[in-house]
Amino acid sequence: MTTPPIAEQRPHSFTTHGVTIEDPYAWLKDPNYPEVDDADVLAYLAAENAYFEEQMAPHTALTDTIYEEMKARIKEDESSVPQKDGDWLYWTAYETGGQYKKWWRKPVAGGDDELLLDEPALAEGHEYFRLGAFSISNDGRYLAYAIDDNGSERFEVRVKDLDTGKHLPDVIPGMLSEIVWTADDAGFLYGLANEQWRTDNARFHRLGTPISEDVVLFHEEDEGFRVGVGETSSRKWIVIATSDHVTSELYLLPAHEPLAVPILVSARKVGRQFPALHRAGRGAGCVERADPGLAAFLYDGRGVLSGLLRGRRARGRLGSDRDPPVRDADRGQADRLSRGELCRGAGGQSRV
């Protein structure tokens, strides 16, 4: 093969918003993706791969040399610095020659190392493997994690009992988010991917119950927004964040009461985002990122949103931008916000 394969053009069109679009290469997308079993698609991919191998064959020695030089500059048995979380120290480690890491912990007070998750074992036999969310329950007993072993970017949630080493029957397919445990470790929050590979929801799963009974806590109607879950640094509040590239909106849930009505922090305004901010001795806070300046907002514990807006004092009721379909943070709720809270932005973060 001396010339690259050329994909055949086949007539195909579709109409969106009154506009008809011609796409002669639509046949290359297998309707069963991520499973690809269309004979024509597979044949074309095989031709592309054969052409690549043919063109690269004369450079095999060079590519092998470059690969070995790159490996020589990487510490193959690398491990992370242990991080304390509660009564445990957590870290990850690679073994020489390994492509995936292992997750470990040991008691702060001293004791044996405990293997929490073995990625190499999970990846064995799969052409593709990726670990997504990884979240330990507050009491340290359960590990909820998510894997993608087919490249679909839709993860499957599994729950492991670290006391017994056994997995619970709770399995959730199609997840695309972080995992956040409730205060009592009875369950966790997560989000499912929709048909467009976006997370437009936040759900609560109670351990030991069918997935069909999971509760939708929040659903985003704007197709351009994506929903994420996180938690405050005190772990007293769960954060539900929805955002696009320039605008975000945050909601809070008491970690001990995940089925409560979400509390709106501040209604969305185009061009305003709320990443994390922590101010010691003040309260839950978020930063407004807007052009041309920044505005830092802090709860003062009296149900009033206060802050500095480009050098001047700004005060206003919580969530006063509009009247949303959820309860705004009122005086009583604001009093419950602990000082020193950290609001995490869209997408959430795992603790380990």
* pLDDT tens figures, 251-298: 989 999 999 999 888 788 898 876 533 333 344 444 333 333 333 343
Residue 325, pLDDT > 80, answer no
Across residues 235-254, what is the average pLDDT? 90
Query: What superfamily does domain 126-336 belong to in CATH?
Result: Prolyl oligopeptidase, N-terminal domain (2.130.10.120)
Secondary structure, 3-state, the chain? CCCCCCCCCCCCEEEECCEEEECCCHHHCCCCCCCCCCHHHHHHHHHHHHHHHHHHHHHHHHHHHHHHHHHHCCCCCCECCCEEECCEEEEEECCCCCCCCEEEEEECCCCCCEEEEEHHHHHCCCCCCEEEEEEECCCCCEEEEEEECCCCCCEEEEEEECCCCCEEEEEEEEECCCCEECCCCCEEEECEECCCCCECEEEEEECCCCHHHCEEEEECCCCCCEEEEEECCCCCEEEEEEECCCCEEEEEEECCCCCCCCEEEECCCCCCECCEEEECCCEEEEEEECCCCEEEEEECCCCEEEEEECCEEEEEECCCCCCCCCCECCHHHHHHCCCCCCCCCCCCCCCC
Mean per-residue pLDDT over the chain, rounded = 80
The C-alpha atoms of residue 243 and residue 70 are separated, in whole angstroms, by 38
- The confidence score (pLDDT) of residue 341 equals 38
Residue 169, pLDDT > 80, answer yes
* pLDDT tens figures, 65-93: 999 999 888 887 788 999 999 999 999 99
- The confidence score (pLDDT) of residue 291 equals 33
Q: Where are the domains of the chain?
A: 13-72, 75-125, 126-336
% of the chain at pLDDT higher than 90: 60
- pTM of this prediction exceeds 0.75: no
- The confidence score (pLDDT) of residue 267 equals 85
9: exposed, middle or buried (Cβ count in 10 Å: 0-12, 13-18, 19+): exposed
